[in-house]
Structure 1
Amino acid sequence: MRVVAVTACPTGIAHTYMAAEALEQAAKATGDEILVETQGSAGSTALSASDVRDADAVILAADVGVTDRERFASKPVVEGTVKQAINDAAGLIERARDAAGRHPASAGAGTPSEPEPESGEVAGTGFGTRLRQWLMTGVSYVIPFVAAGGLLIALSFAIGGYQITEAPDVTERFDPASLTSWAALANQVGSAAFEFLVPVLAGFIAFAMADRPALAPGFVGGAAAVAVDAGFLGGLVAGLLAGAVVGGLRRIRVPRAVAGIMPVVVLPFLGSLIVGGLMFVLLGAPIAAAMTALTGWLNGLTGVSALLLGALLGGMIAVDAGGPINKVAYTFAVGGLTTGSDTALQIMAAVMGAGMVPPLALALAATVRGSSFSRAERESSRPAWLLGASFITEGAIPFAAADPLRVIPSAVLGSATTGALSMAFGATLRAPHGGVFVLPLVGDPLLYFLAIVAGVLVSALAVLVAKRIGRAPRSAESAPVESSAVTV
């Protein structure tokens, strides 16, 4: 059987390439041919038209919308998540074999046997999965803006202090010999990057739903959400609304003479008018009121409520090591940064500290008691130190994939501990990323470091205890996913 596949995750760092490696190994084991296009941050070589034409089936293992999926309209398509590809690549290969058997005419030129991508009826995909993919697509495009803007703002505070926000516009006064001017420049460039967050979120949610014609309505809806102070929640609503509106308009049959200008003129025009109008006139005000209430609730969190929120977000960050639940917690924290409140800055600190815990804890556990881990896991522990220190939670994936029932609860316990302690200590963070490299920018850095160390020790101890309960160490050869993770 000839199979083509596409893998993609929100960050495009680890899951994307691990899923590709797992699929390639599973296909090799069954004697099938597979070509995988990894739509990740490092880029990839796209599948050629002949590759797609000659394929018997298509596997889409993605947590975000797949770019140019219309290429596969004439092929039997099997969809799954990157986690399914990592944990059960053989199952996806078997599903692809069954799909190819039901559509024997799909090989070669064939006739369309699958519905159009926007219909949402591709095998193995429900509305809940689709919704998650749409939202994660928006988040994946927001993350670079968050990282660039947040680190620039944090750098400006480190150089010029928090009062740098009051500096005059650098277009009016900029002194190349003044450190304050450079701090002001970094702050204003970072703030400009942050202004794109909501429009980009809305635009690419819409793009995932209805392709390029929905980009302009999504961006317009996101900009309208910013204008009416509807924030991230408004961006989510605007993106979903734009995708639905443009998707509905695409279903309208029009004369052939008009069809050519529909994607580039008519759909963006009508979509922007409808979505922008609804956001300004009808939806913006109630969403803004909800955002105001949410901000007020966050600002009012103290004592036990703050501890519980920190523990909850910390557990969410660890439970799927960079997957969709992790991104929900991260997006919640980043969204709060735009409010600038102390509680929002505390939440950002708690989330980043908790996200550092799983890789660091597992690296520590594998170093302290290597006999409890396979050779591949011990090799994975070395890069896990750096990944954890850099706030890349995906460093825990090789361990979680090999032994999820023991590793994941232990990671969640340690991360929840760090999240709760960070909130209790009142540590704050304005940078959305950076790990230990932005530690000097943290409010109460010593207590924050103590919270991280406590979580790492709790998680490492928990996993070592769990490993001793009814489990013999696995050999490296018996864990193909682990060995693929070493390459990542």
Structure 2
Amino acid sequence: MKLLAITSCPNGIAHTYMAAEKLAKAAEAMGHEIKVETQGSIGVENELTAEEIRAADGIIIAADKQVDKSRFNGKKVLATGVGEGIRKPEELIKKFENDEVPVYGKEDSTEVKEEKRGKENPIYRSLMNGVSYMIPFVVVGGLLIALALAIGGEPTPTGLQIPEGSVWQTILNVGAASFTLMVPILAGFIAYSIADRPGLAPGMVGGYIAATGSFYGSDAGAGFIGGIIAGFLAGYIAKAIKRIPVPKMVQPIMPILVIPLVATFLVAVIFIFVIGQPIAGLMEGLTSFLQGMEGASRIVLALILGAMIAFDMGGPFNKVAFLFGAAMIAEGNAYIMGAIAVAICTPPLGLGLATLLNKKKYADEEREAGKAALAMGLVGITEGAIPLAARDPLRVIPSIMIGAMVGSVIAMMSNVADNVPHGGPIVAVFQAVDNVLMFFIAIIVGVLVTAFLVNALKKPIKE
């Protein structure tokens, strides 16, 4: 068979390319041709052409974010998560061999619809679609603010202050502008994932209203929680309007005028007069609670976040904790991201070190995976731990969770702050971390705990 595939993950880094490699190897081993288009952080690579799509026997879409399927009308399309592309590439290809894949664009049976709905997990996918577009804005904003403070800041009794009118004040303002766009972008692309282009404007406007408390009489906005709610609200309202039958003469203006206008109006009314103030109150309470955390309560938070980051190494639990930390940067709680930044790199670095310390407990391919994990850990890619965890999950996953939890606690109690939503030693290179010494101590301790614990649990490889 001639197969095509698209792979894409929320961050567009590790999972995107791991799934592409697994699908390519599985297809070759099973005697089929395949071309894989990757939609990563760098953009679309190895793009599928119209001629290739016409000649294809089927298309696999292994993605955790919105992928446009309109070009595949009339072709057999199997849509699933990027994790399935990594773990079960052979099973996906066998579905085409067994003629179990429906034709996209035709009315599917109830069972097929339910199966697709369950696999695609639309709530998670829509949320991750918004997060993937939001992250660059938080990264740019955080780095510019950190750079302005690190170079242009002058020490005062109340902390670093940037002189008014200086070039660093301008850079600080640009960083703040990037942060301002964070919530509208998040909401807009959640709505886009649900309702396609007609949902984009209502989502972004709803996100802006969510972030601007003056609309509903609040000193603070509804923050990222409000943005998420606004995005889903806009998306499902726009989707509902799309399904309303209208005369043919009105259809051309529905997606560009009627749907965005009506959906935006409804989202604005609902948010301003019904849900905006309660959500803003919730966010204010959460921010105050986090800022007031001391001692044992901060340790508990660090333990929970560290465990979530390490548990599924880039999966849903990891992304929920990551999103929470990224959103808290804009709320002035960058120390939460500091703990997460340590947990992000601890699993791959710890497992990479473990393969170097006791080579007898690892097969040749595991040792190679360990080298790759070390490189990925340095730049904050937790997914580098996946190949080693997949071979021995019962021993590896508890070990990386404990190591990440230990590192997170040290970072949290040392007030390590990370001003960008990323982890690993790389963030210190960009001067995005406060208390750099304790940041590295937290990483080193977490890595050592992971390495020694996993080696204590694993048994030597039998010759």
TM-score (norm 1): 0.85
* Residues 470-481 of structure 1 mapped to structure 2, 5 A cutoff: 472=462
> Which amino acid is 2:459 matched to?
R
CA contact (8 A) 2:343 2:405 kept: yes
**What is the CA–CA distance in structure 2 between the aligned matches of 1:185 and 1:467, rounded to whole Å?**
54
CA drift of 1:167 comes to 4.1
From 162, 175, 190, the equivalent of 1:205 is 190
One-letter code aligned to 1:97: E
Question: Which residue identity lines up with residue 258 of structure 2 in the other structure?
Answer: V
2:190–2:232 CA contact under 8 A, matched in 1: yes
SS in 1 for 2:405: helix
Measured in 1, the distance between the counterparts of 2:95 and 2:117 equals: 13
Q: Which residue of 2 aligns with 1:240?
A: 232
Q: How does 1:195-234 map to 2 (within 5 A)?
A: 195-228=180-213, 229-234=221-226
1:47-446 aligned at under 5 Å gives the runs 47-66=48-67, 68-98=68-98, 100-101=99-100, 106=103, 112-114=105-107, 121=113, 123-126=115-118, 129-161=121-153, 167-168=163-164, 173=165, 181-228=166-213, 229-340=221-332, 344-433=333-422, 435-439=424-428, 442-446=433-437
Distance across 1 between alignment mates of 2:443 and 2:399? 15
CA distance in 1, matches of 2:378, 2:63: 27
In 2: Cα distance, 1:47 partner to 1:441 partner = 38
Distance verdict in 2 for CA 1:356–1:297, change over 3 Å: same
Q: Is the 8 A contact 1:59 1:96 kept in 2?
A: no
SS in 1 for 2:425: helix
Q: Give ranges in structure 2 of 5+ residues lacking alignment.
A: 214-220
Q: Report the secondary structure of 1:216's partner residue.
A: helix
Q: What residue is the counterpart of 1:178 in the other structure?
A: none
Shift of the 114–123 alpha-carbon distance from structure 1 to 2, 3 Å rule, reads: farther
1:285-332: CA deviations, max 9, x gaps?
111111112112212222222111101101111122223321211110
2:34 corresponding residue in structure 1: 34
Match of 2:446 among 455, 468, 482: 455
Is the CA contact (8 Å cut-off) linking 2:351 and 2:385 kept in structure 1? yes
Partner Cα separation in structure 1 for residue 443 and residue 207 of structure 2: 36
The CA deviation at 1:209 is 0.6
What CA distance in whole angstroms lies between the structure 1 residues aligned with 2:83 and 2:384?
15
Alpha-carbon deviations, 1:16-45, whole Å to 9, x = none? Answer: 111011111111222223222211123313
1:408 offset after TM fit, Å?
2.1
Contact 1:337 1:345 in 2 (8 A): yes
CA distance in 2, matches of 1:392, 1:77: 30
Indicate conservation of the 8 Å contact 1:207/1:218, yes or no.
Answer: yes
2:322 corresponds to which letter in structure 1?
Answer: Y
> 1:127/1:273 Cα in 2 relative to 1: closer, same or farther (>3 Å)?
farther
**Deviation larger for 398-407 or 451-460:** 398-407
Q: State whether residues 65 and 125 of structure 2, in contact with CA within 8 Å, keep that contact through their aligned partners in structure 1.
A: yes
1:374 is displaced (CA, Å) by 2.9
| In 1: Cα distance, 2:108 partner to 2:264 partner | 27
Deviation at 1:472, TM superposition (A): 4.3
Aligned alpha-carbon RMSD (Å): 2.4
- Give yes or no for contact 1:418–1:452 (8 Å, CA) kept in 2: yes
- Gaps spanning 5+ residues in structure 1: where? 174-180, 474-488
Query: 2: CA distance between counterparts of 1:463 and 1:378?
Result: 14
Distance, in Å, in 2 between the alignment partners of 1:12 and 1:115 is 30
Q: What secondary structure does 1:302 align onto?
A: coil
- Opposite residue 282 of structure 2, the aligned amino acid is A
Aligned-pair CA distance for 1:371? 2.8
Change in 2 beyond 3 A, CA 1:239/1:112 = closer
Shift of 1:347: 1.0
Letter in 2 for 1:418: G
Query: Take 2:395 and 2:184, find their aligned partners in 1: how far apart are those partners?
Result: 40
Residues 167 and 250 of structure 1: is their aligned pair in 2 closer, same or farther, counting only changes over 3 Å?
A: farther
The residue type equivalent to 2:20 in the other structure is A
Distance 2:129 2:338 in 1: 24
- Matched residue pairs, number? 448
Q: Provide the rounded CA distance (Å) in 1 between the counterparts of 2:72 and 2:351.
A: 40
SS of the equivalent of 2:36 reads: strand
- Name the SS of the counterpart of 2:6 in structure 1: strand
Q: Shift of the alpha carbon at 1:102?
A: 6.5
| Partners of 1:206 and 1:218 within 8 A in 2 | yes
Partner residue in 1 for 2:217: none
Aligned equivalent of 2:218:
none
Give the structure-2-normalised TM-score: 0.90
Q: Structure 1: which amino acid aligns with 2:190?
A: I
